[in-house]
Amino acid sequence: MQGQDEEGGASSFIVKRKVQITGGSTYIVSLPKEWAKALNIDKGSEVLLELNPEGWIRLRSPNSASRSVERVTEVLLRPNLSDAVLSMQIISAYLAGYDTINIKFDTQMAEAAERIANFVRTKTIGLELLEESNDQLTLKTVVDLTSISAHTAVENMIRVVKSMITDLSDVIEGLKQRDLLDAMIRRDDIVDKLYLYIFKQLNLALQGLMSPKELGMNALAEAINLYTMVKSLERIADQVVSIAQWLLDYNGQLTPEIRQLFDKVKLSVLSSIDLINTLSQEQILLMYESLHREAVWVAELYSKARASGCANECYPIFDGARRIVAQTIDLLEAMMGLNALRSLENRRAFAA
């Protein structure tokens, strides 16, 4: 925050103004000249005003709504860093809201650069390779980030994560063949894409470049709980993949206890995820209490397995189930927070 002054300046983020009345019924506030110039607002220009439930008013020019100024950044690929680190550099730029990412590299790294760029494209929505030379690749965001609301993206995440959990449970219970696991693991790329897409939308909203309404949120304050929800879904999917990858290499027979364990966890997790659509406080609290009991039950079952000698062999399923339950508890906590926030928003609206 920079200074509070009467006149303001191009570098001032906050200025103080007195509200005046014109025509006996219209309230007016003057706009600093430097701000108007920065937004290309002139006499007779139309502006957009947005009233936010938190009690602030946002003013912008219609042209600024389209983010017409392209954001460009450069990422230098260094040979002493791993693919994972280099990929994260690019993904971080994507999440920050850059429209164009120029990837620079030495000619000896051309093959690695192409490999990294292709990996990043599998993890993001709308990031495409549009230019290529012997020492640079250019990725550009080619998707309108308002075309899919955060609400719709979350709905898609829910469907994919639920299908992954159900398919894994069916394999564990012997209802489906293990060759289903490879296709199920590939679905995790969809979950990652949707998670990063929502993350980027929330980043832009927090920067004031998208409105909460464009994302399907009632207010910007919902961003924290929404992020926690999608992060929990993404982590649940990661644990499902971890168990599936272990099963692909496991040639032994799963015990009835293991099958019972995952079937119970599946039912609880699916029921919890379904509550995202209702945000029923009573149901969330009941499931929250039930999952805490289930976490204790998983720990007790693991202790019995250790006594019987199969714990080490089946540890990945026990550990995965334990983590899935813990991440579902995080999901429910985010739902409770969102429920409380929306209740507060409704009271404010009613009081107004």
pLDDT, one tens digit per residue, over 138-166 is: 999 998 887 888 889 999 999 999 999 99
Q: Are 169 and 262 in contact (CB under 8 A)?
A: yes
Mean pLDDT, rounded, for 274-291: 94
pLDDT (tens digit per residue) in 169-206: 999 988 778 889 999 999 999 999 999 999 999 999 88
**Which residues on neighbouring strands pair with residue 4, listed in sequence order?**
14
**Interatomic CA distance for residues 70 and 97, integer angstroms:** 10
Phi and psi angles of residue 343, each rounded to the nearest 5 degrees, phi first: -65, -40
Q: How confident is the model at residue 9 (pLDDT cuts 50, 70, 90)?
A: very low
Asked if the model's pLDDT at residue 331 lies above 80, the reply is yes
Q: Are 125 and 201 in contact (CB under 8 A)?
A: no
pLDDT (tens digit per residue) in 50-107: 776 656 777 776 655 445 578 999 999 999 999 999 999 999 999 999 999 999 999 9
Which pTM value belongs to this model? 0.81
pLDDT of residue 214: 80
pLDDT of residue 10: 43
Structure tokens belonging to residue 184: 């199920």
pLDDT (tens digit per residue) in 216-228: 888 888 999 999 9
